[in-house]
Each structure stands twice: as C-alpha cells, then as structure tokens.
Amino acid sequence: MYILGLTTLGDSAATLIENGEIVAAAEEERFSRRKHHSGFSDNAMQYCLDEAGIRITAVAHIGLYWKPWVLRHKAVQALKSAVISRDMFKARVDRGVAQVGESYLGMLRHPRRIREHFGDSDFKFHFLEHHQCHAASAFFVSGFEQAAIMTWDGTGEDTTTLFSHGDDRNIRIVRRIKLPHSLGQFYSAVTNYLGFDMFEGDEWKVMGLAAYGKPEYYDFFAKRVLKVNGHQGFRLDIRVLDHHLAKYYQFSEELTKTLGPPRAKGGELLEKHWNIAASAQKVLEDTALHLLSELYEETGSENLCLAGGVAFNSVMNGRIMTKTPFKQFFIQPAAGDAGCSLGAALLVLHRRLQQPRKFRMEHAYYGPGFSSEECATALRASGLKFHTLTDEQMLPKVAALLADGAIVGWFQGRMEFGPRALGNRSFLADPRRADMRELLNEKVKLREWFRPLAPSMLEEAAGDLFGHEHYDPFMITVLNVLEEKRASIPAVVHVDGSARPQTVNRDLNPRYWKLIREFEKLTGVPLLLNTSFNIQEPIVLSPQDAIKTFSRASFEALVLENHLVVRSEQSQTATSS
C-alpha cells in the first residue's frame, strides 16, 4: 500500500512510503531551484511517483501536515498584541491575512488540485496536526519501541513545543506550549536583530557566530526575554523581543537600549554581535535542557527523539547528548517542515490504519539518482572534457587530488533528504589545510568567514577523534574534538574546539566510505571536509545543476558518478574517454 505525505508551506516536500518503508522523499526547492520553496509540491510529488513507477491511482492515502482550520488561538494572540503595540498587532494581522488567504485555506483545495494535476483518483486525504507529524517523523523511524519525544519549532497551527511519549504505534501527548512562547521564534528574532534573514534560514549563522563570542548578555536574555517557568516550560516576553516585528527589523526600546542598535544587513560583525549570538545560543541550550529534564520525569524513558526546526541546532544537540539523563537518541535528519511529509505518511499508516512498525531510518538517501550514462550525456552536452574511470581508478585519483589541495564537487547516488549534504551531493576538501575554511567559504561558497565546515569520517574512527564511540550518519550533533587531534584537522574544527561529524558506515554508503579510506591511506587522516554542493542556491539535484555550479564557481574538479572533470584540462574542444 502506497501512502504519500506532503508539506506545502515553507520547505515544501513530498514523501512516498510503501508498506511502511520510504520509497522516495525530496524537497520541492531542489526542483524549483528556489530556496525554502513555499507552495504546492508538485515536482517532488511527481518524482516520488516516478521513483515508485506508479500513477496517483496507486496511492491509497495522502496525509498533509497541517489542520488549516485551527486559527482561533492565533487570532486571540493577534488581538492581545494590540494592547501592547499597534505595530505589533499590524505585523501579525498583515502576516496572518496573507497566510489564511493564500496558504491555510488554500490547503483545503489540495485534494482537488492533486486530482487536477495528476489525474482522477480515489485516495483518502487526511489533514493532520503539524507537531504530531514532527513527532511521527522521528519516533516511528527511530527503531525505539518506546521513547520520549520533543518537537520544537517556530510554530505549527498554534503549538510551538510538544512533549509526547511514543509507544509502539501510538504517540501520547503529554503537554504542549503554545504561541507566543516559542524557542524557534526567539532564535529567528535574534537572527534578524543580528542583520541576517530568518526567511533565508539564517539561524545557522547565529549558531556558527556564537562560538566566537562570550555570553555577555545571558542574564538579560534569561531574565527579560526567554524565561524558564518551573513545570510550565518557558515564557517568551514579546514586549521585549517579538518575532513578528523582527521580521520587519523592528525591535523594542528595551532591547536596543540593552544590546545597542540592531546590526544592519551586510554591516560589520563586531565582537558585540558575537557575544549577543553566544548569549542567545546559551539561553536556548539551557532552556532546552530544562524542558528535557521535565520530559524525562514525565515519561521515564531513557530514549529520546527530536524533531522540529530547533532540532537542527547541532550545538544544542551535543549538550543534550552529554547533559541530560537520556541514554539513546534519534534526531530526524529532515527535522524541519520538510520532514513532516514523512511524518504525515507514517501517522496515517501507524495511527489511522494501525499498521505495525518495521522500518528504521539509517540514512537519508531518498532523493533522485542518475545513471552514469545520464551523467555522461549531460557532460557531453556541456562541452566539458571528462574521463570515465572505474572505482578502482577513480577513488585513489580523487583522494590524491584532495590530498594535493583540490576542492572537488562530488555527485553520486541518490540525493539526500534534508538540508545536510552527506556524501552524495557534497563539496569535498582536505581537512588538514588551515586555510581551507576561508577558501571554501569566501571563494567557493560565497558566504561569511565564520561559517563552520564539517567532517565526514569513517564510522570506525570516531573514538579516536572524540575519545568515545559516536554514531551520527546525519551530521546533526556537535561534539568536542580531543585536544591532541585538533591541530591535525584545523579546517573542520571550530574555534571552540568542536566539530559536527558525519559518521560514514561502510555498508550504507560504501563508495563514499572507500573514498575516505583512500584519503586515509595517503594522509593518515580518516576523514574529509564535507559541505553541501551549492552556491547561494538549493543543493544540486541533477548532473545539469552540478555542471552549472562548476561552470560559475572556483573549484578544481567535478565527479559525476564514474566521470571526472578536472578544470585545468578544459579546452575549447570537448572530448571524453
């Protein structure tokens, strides 16, 4: 039985499951080439159907990650904001009217839109709660028979934080925190205060910048903005910092008096800004630890599942793994709204249909893949000179290029689901070079100097790097690197001595594992620098996308399956071998 799950606001996506296992999953942005695509995910849906080799008539159920009629609480919050500030009320109303008219009520037309676009079908359509979809996306694929579940983000219909407990096919809601109290909205408001853009997903930048600062403003944030509230969780004081005003880069007098004027977009990053980022990050982490101590008491489970956009904060995740009483963890790699497409499908299967669980998510390679011949066809059309090599030839050659300082665009297999490049759509480089972070950030990726870069490492080598065994195929946790190891891999160790590793399993991604192993043979280092294969755009999906990126960027080599392009060999005449 096929079940399709959809998300259709920001980070639109589609996931298709068959008998409980993922057949295909992809974000719409990869097809449209518009970051954080918002709207009907028709390209991602078509890909899922094509990957399964079916038409829409074969899909029995479709789940959507939202109940669009749940509007009362948001309306009440908007009215309450009018007492605080006319600007605050206007910001909520302007945004709310647009969302209701264009997005929420538009969801009610999705069943008809699907039939118009893909053909007539008798599928059953399900509107599902946002945060329960987040919870399902993590727990039902975790492999745990039972677990505590925490989901946290900006907001769903009205809930921002959901405490729940999973047991077999059931997810029991323990309690919830609702608007205006939101960890995600707190962090995105700080993002805009620091001159970044929450609509571009720039929360990553705050987390990266925080490592350079000191939590000088911690007391202000903890006492006046985001306050833990006993067994009631936490409270966000929107009179001091309001997410909706921050969207328009408007901030309260109290905030600007304490922190100074907000940083202008593109303005100089001063030490003060580093310290504000560090303060906000620490408050977020401490609040998260407080909430999870409550969840542990309320569930008694030593297993923890996390999802929701806040779960992308990998620095926070590292503290959760070392500072909470939980023993085993699963963090959904597509923790944001895209992952709710998976959660929606699983919620239908296990909660609505009560079908048994049998699937565990061990990797994220569920997007489109391309044959070696399709890659060769794209290269011939581009006019690039390339070499076709066996893996026995290719992997040592690429490892040697990397060891000599080359940056390589690495394209193989099926695209990753979620925002992390995990060795199938990646830029790869030598982690030993101290200047490699600057080269990649400023000359290739065209982004801020402080953005950290991560290692992909042989799973077997984790203990040597961190001093203890570590399993994270999804690159979603930051840990401290042993002090004696830091100097040998400076490009992937952040300024505070930490790194965000992907552990690569020999069975789950054998070709990537072998490439890292070849690099280790040459250098003695069992890891590569890995960052996403994109430049101010969504991660590349197709060979054509990869070739376009190669043509307009400054990196030395491109691998498309079994084909190698070396920039220094290019000429006016295309040849192949």
pLDDT at 429 over 80: yes
Q: What is the pLDDT of residue 576?
A: 46
The confidence band for 96, taking pLDDT boundaries of 50, 70 and 90, is low
Q: Can you give the pLDDT at residue 573?
A: 47
What mean pLDDT do residues 217-229 have? 97
Rounded to an integer, what distance in angstroms lies between the CA atom of residue 206 and that of residue 189?
Answer: 11
Please name which of 292, 394, 418 lies closest in space to residue 29, comparing C-alpha atoms: 418
pLDDT of residue 95: 60
The predicted-structure confidence for 318-348, as pLDDT tens digits, reads as follows: 999 999 999 999 999 999 999 999 999 999 9
Question: What span, in angstroms and rounded, lies between the C-alpha atoms of 185 and 166?
Answer: 26
User: 169 pLDDT exceeds 60?
Assistant: yes
Is pLDDT above 80 for 101? no
Pair 301, 147: CB distance under 8 Å = yes
Compute the distance between CA of residue 400 and CA of residue 261 in angstroms, rounded to an integer: 49
Confidence of residue 94 (pLDDT cuts 50, 70, 90): low
Q: Is the pLDDT of residue 229 over 70?
A: yes
pLDDT above 50: residue 18: yes
Q: Is the pLDDT of residue 97 over 70?
A: no
Read off the DSSP letter of residue 423.
S
Residue 446: per-residue pLDDT: 87
pTM, entire model: 0.95
| Predicted local confidence at residue 268, as pLDDT | 94
pLDDT of 81 reads 78
Task: Kindly compute the dihedral angle of the four CA atoms of residues 183, 189, 193, 196, in this order, to the nearest 10 degrees.
Answer: 100
* CA–CA dist 174, 344 (Å, integer): 20
pLDDT at 575: 45
pLDDT band at 574 (very low <50, low <70, confident <90, very high): very low
CA contacts within 13 A on the Cβ side of 225? 32
- Lowest-confidence segment of 9-18, 230-239, 481-490 by average pLDDT: 230-239
pLDDT digits (tens, 9 = 90+) for 340-395: 999 999 999 999 999 999 999 999 999 999 999 999 999 999 999 999 999 999 99
Share of the chain above pLDDT 90, in %: 89
Q: Report angle CA 27, 32, 34 to the nearest 5 degrees.
A: 85
pLDDT of residue 16: 98
Higher pLDDT pick, 99 / 288: 288
User: What is the rounded average pLDDT for all residues in the chain?
Assistant: 94
Amino acid sitting at position 33: R
Q: Residue 98 — very low, low, confident or very high, per pLDDT cuts 50/70/90?
A: low
Q: How many Cα neighbours within 13 Å face the side chain of 229?
A: 12
Closest CA to 312 of 474, 124, 493: 474
Segment 245-264 shows an average pLDDT of 97
- Determine what percent of the chain is predicted with pLDDT higher than 70: 97
- Max alpha carbon distance in the chain (Å)? 72
Q: Are 93 and 78 in contact (CB under 8 A)?
A: yes
> What per-residue confidence (pLDDT) applies to 388?
98
CB-based contacts of 435: which residues, under 8 Å, 6+ apart? 491
Each residue of 552-568: pLDDT tens digit?
Answer: 998 999 999 999 999 99
